[in-house]
Amino acid sequence: MRILITILIYSLFISISYASEYKLEKVIDNLTKPWGMSFINDNELFLTQKTGEILKINLKTKEVINFEHNLKVVQPHWQAGMLDILYSNEEIFVSYTEDIGNDKKWCKWFSSWCDSYTSTSIARGLIQDNELVSLNNIFQSQPPLADNIHWGSRLMIKDDLLYASVGERAQGSVTQDPTNHIGKIIRINRDGSAPKDNPYSSEPNWLPEVFQVGLRNPQGMALNSNDSSIYITNHGPKGGDFFGEVVKGTNYGWMDVAWGGTNYDGSIIGDGSAWKEGLLKPIYRWIPSIAVSDMVFYKGNIFPELKDKVILTSLKAQRLISLDFNDGKASNETVLIEGMGRLRDVEQNDSGEIFVIIDDNNSGIWKLVKK
């Protein structure tokens, strides 16, 4: 009953409008399950594909460079594979599902009997003369697990520190435990070491990279230059997707609370509360879930009507969405694009052009334009 009341109250106060003046124009073809993008300049970007590729793409000439690497990327199935990418000061950072293997001696003969353990890992490499060199791991989430869902994972740099989201791998309330990285935001230096001012760095048994706890599957992250804060999106279960802030040492509560969602069979999570005292409260929620993915705070002039709005992608609902965001409050949800496919990532270049990718075997890069 409490969940039903929560959903009804939420529905009363949330209205969605639909814009009719936008469309998506394809600019690059022949991509397979693209996951993340990071612009170098207006016409060039780096892109990852879940199948393991790290690509450099020129949107103007259509040239595509495939960088070779030796990362142990799990072959994509459902959510696994090469994940996000971030370009910064001639370096790239990539997050990915790393194949850790297993320690059962007979697995090399009977591999179908063995569980492969994986982690959300991050590697750093240097771009020199159009080549990727010295791509090596700087972070590996602990502990490695056999469950094959909910890796996260987005990357963001602020003040020369790297923030990354790690999913909870279907482990539930272990997100509350800072002796693991599961269901956390981690913050590390560019070399992978933990900053001394991280909230749990002084506790001897807690992992020093942990910055924020209590998340389920955070797949979006963006810096808002207006307030110099980092924000995330997070997948709830059946309902309860949210947009919220990354705040040092705070807890979003999974799975003591489910932000208004329920289990997929309809049963309640915890005592059915959407939020409890002492937890960080999401800024904006979606009930039912839309599978909210990545986002940007729009800063360009090409679409003045979108200035300073949050632009978000949705997988399940197949939408590109805008939200007004002022004084820590989000409102006026508007659907800019709908029905084009599972929108995975959205990015803007320095000129203010907006680009999206779709999680599909026959995909590409699309640019948002006026009709």
d(CA 281, CA 299): 26
Q: For residue 146, tell me if it sits in a domain.
A: yes
Give a yes or no: residue 110 inside a domain.
Answer: no
**CA distance linking residue 159 with residue 214, whole number of Å:** 24
Structure confidence at residue 105 as a pLDDT band (50, 70, 90):
low
Mean local confidence (pLDDT), 100-114 = 58
SS3 label, residue 9: helix
* Paired strand residues for 229: 224
pLDDT band at 146 (very low <50, low <70, confident <90, very high): confident
Determine contact, residues 311/346, Cβ cutoff 8 Å. Answer: yes
DSSP string, 233-280: EE--SBS-EEEEE--TT-B--TTT--TT-B-TTS--STTS-S--TTSP
**DSSP string of 175-228, one letter each residue:** GG-TTS-TTEEEEEETTSPPPTTSTTTTSTTS-TTEEEB--S---EEEEETTTT
**305 domain residue, yes or no:** yes
Q: What is the mean pLDDT of the chain?
A: 92
Write down the pLDDT at residue 147: 81
pLDDT of residue 75: 77
One-letter amino acid at 345 equals D
Tell me the per-residue pLDDT of 206-241, one tens digit each, with 9 for 90 and over. Answer: 999 999 999 999 999 999 999 999 999 999 999 999
CA gap 130, 63 in Å, rounded: 12
The pLDDT tens digits of the residues spanning 3-55 come to 444 444 444 346 799 999 999 999 999 999 999 999 999 999 999 999 999 99
Name the residue range of residue 93's domain.
Answer: 2-104+115-370
Report yes or no on 75 lying in a domain: yes
**Whole-prediction pTM:** 0.93
List 186's β-bridge partners, or say none.
Answer: 164, 210
Residue 43 lies in a domain: yes
Give the pLDDT of residue 178: 94
Give the tens place of pLDDT for each residue, 172-212. Answer: 999 999 999 999 999 999 999 999 999 998 888 999 999 99
Q: How many domains does the chain have?
A: 1
* Predicted local confidence at residue 331, as pLDDT: 97
Residue 109, in any domain of the structure = no
Q: What pLDDT is recorded for position 101? A: 81
Percentage of the chain exceeding pLDDT 70: 92
Residue 107: pLDDT band (50, 70, 90) is: low
Q: Is residue 190 part of a domain?
A: yes
Is the pLDDT at 152 greater than 80, yes or no?
yes
CATH number of the domain encompassing residue 343: 2.120.10.30
Q: How confident is the model at residue 104 (pLDDT cuts 50, 70, 90)?
A: low
Contact 46, 92 (CB under 8 A): yes
